Amino acid sequence: MGQNISATLNPNNDPVIWLTGRSPCVESSPRFPFDDKPDEISDQGLWDRFGKGVDQHLPKLNPYLKPILILDVFAVICIFILFATTSSNWVGVALIPVFILFFVGMSINIEKNKAVDKSIEDLCGQYNVEFVKIGFSPVYRTMHTGLCKPKGARPTRMIVFRPASRV
């Protein structure tokens, strides 16, 4: 990819929590990292309330990812079995609907994720007043969450806690 995602989404190196994208695997149902509270955030009660609020939205990410992958793998296996047992040259054409199904399913999944991202962004706005009292402003940042992304890129979601003095 050629660039550090953390530096792109958090150029001032502010306190941050990663929701997705830090692990090399795609998280189908991420959880809020309660144990990763930045040392600069002193109010444990606020942190717990905020985390519970974010955590209510995270299981809604990637709702169709597993079924899409399972159905597509099953379809490809069936087509290869058909290809191996048939002498027709048209069996490869059967892969076209599988690819269409995959991209339509992923597009629907990404649209659902956009709604979740908006909910988390709104939640950061709701908690902003409370965080400003302790000197921070939570900002939800995302990268590579759409259908098209650079090769090897992972969808990344993080909450950056900018100092209130820079807001």
Per-residue pLDDT, 130: 95
pTM: 0.83
Residue 50's domain spans which residues?
Answer: 5-166
Tens-digit pLDDT profile for residues 131-165 = 999 999 999 999 988 888 888 888 889 999 999 88
CA distance 111 to 72: 19
Number of domains in the chain: 1
Per-residue pLDDT, 25: 66
SS3 74: helix
b/e map 28-37, b = 16+ CB within 10 Å: eebebeeeeb
CA distance 150 to 20: 17
Tens-digit pLDDT profile for residues 32-86 = 999 999 999 999 999 999 999 999 999 999 888 888 888 888 888 887 887 778 7
Q: Is the pLDDT of residue 1 over 60?
A: no
